[in-house]
Amino acid sequence: MATYDFVFDGLGLRKWCGESGDDGGSMLSMAQLLAETSGEEVEASPWETPFPSMDALHEACPSFPQSRELTSGLEEGFLAIKDTLKIVVDPLTQPLSWALENALWVMQAVPWFIMIPLLMIVAYAVSRSLKLVLLVALCFGFLAFVDYYDYTMQTLAIIFVCAFICVLFGVPIGIAMSRSDRTQRTMIPVLDMLQTLPPFVYLIPLIFLFSVTEPKLYGIAIILYAIVPVVRLTDLGIRLVDKDVIEAADAFGMTERQKLFNVQIPLALPNIMAGVNQTIMMSLAMVVIASLVSAPGLGVLVLRGIRSLELGVGLLSGLGIVLLAIILDRVTKAALARINTSQS
């Protein structure tokens, strides 16, 4: 007798269920096998009562679906709409593939003796710090010295494109959330899901939708994973703008557009830049995971170190990712510090 026979008997569903699942060839426990061998009956202990899960209820009622039917149903449902979904999503995401392909080509086509000084100039323009410029030169020089220059440039190109798109879409979404409580209530569950969903889960539906050779596959995964901080902190920064300042802007007769661009966004810029910093860091973290689906860069070397048990390759590529993270973090924080200084 199955544990939950009484549920279906009490509801009068025994005819719908048919015979108990115990007679249908279900797998027996070790205690049941020993009992059948010895000819003794085993009384189930209350401590061993299983949770009324789908499989436990299926044992009592063979017509009740099992958990594997649910998972297979989800898969069949996704595959049924895959072609239609791809027709809609593919044209919308194709520019992302073009942007990634062109960025990868540019970062690798430009010679190192032009690219490294150019990155140093960008670092100085953002930070006005010679120490940071020297750090950039030393880090990229070291990575080039150990023949990881091309991999580093590939990783940097992917981060530039994905972080730019995150900011391009994330800041307007954050502004919309800050101006409407209803929009905020709608977006917060979506952002919570994106922030808590394991990174590998982003890749599962995308693998079914796009070819592994398409850059949009890993690009979309990186953007979905990294866009959350810039959205949240844009919303927070604008909401934290002093109400007295808003009242003063209203007294001067500013329109909503003027208040947004001349008052709220400038005052919220430190929070927005903090969101950009976190978005860049999360993009870098996801680039490594995205190497599982053909994303180029230092993540490929990390994956090679794991697959081939090449300890040196794994450690050195991991060090390269750390150096790249330090550079990006220092540059964005230097930009944030300059913004804070200009506003104080």
187-228: per-residue pLDDT in tens?
999 999 998 888 888 888 888 888 888 899 999 999 999 999
Res. 145: pLDDT tops 80:
yes
CB 163 within 8 A of CB 283: yes
Q: How many residues in total does the chain contain?
A: 344
What tokens appear for 61 in the block? 């009622």
User: Where is pLDDT greater, at 7 or 171?
Assistant: 171
- Dihedral pair phi/psi, residue 44, rounded to 5°: -70, 130
Residue 28 has a pLDDT of 53
Res. 164: pLDDT tops 70:
yes
- Stated pTM of the model: 0.83
CB 293 within 8 A of CB 217: yes
Cβ neighbors of 191 (< 8 A, separation 6 or more) are 228, 231, 232
Query: Which amino acid appears at position 330 of this protein?
Result: R
What tokens appear for 330 in the block? 């220092």
Residue 190 has a pLDDT of 93
CA distance 254 to 139: 48
What tokens appear for 314 in the block? 């794994």
Which tens digits make up the pLDDT trace of 85-141?
Answer: 888 888 889 999 999 999 999 999 999 999 999 999 999 998 888 999 999 999 999
Question: How high does pLDDT run on average in the chain?
Answer: 86
Q: How confident is the model at residue 25 (pLDDT cuts 50, 70, 90)?
A: very low
Which tens digits make up the pLDDT trace of 248-260?
Answer: 988 888 888 889 8
What tokens appear for 113 in the block? 């003796």
* Coil vs helix vs strand at 49: coil
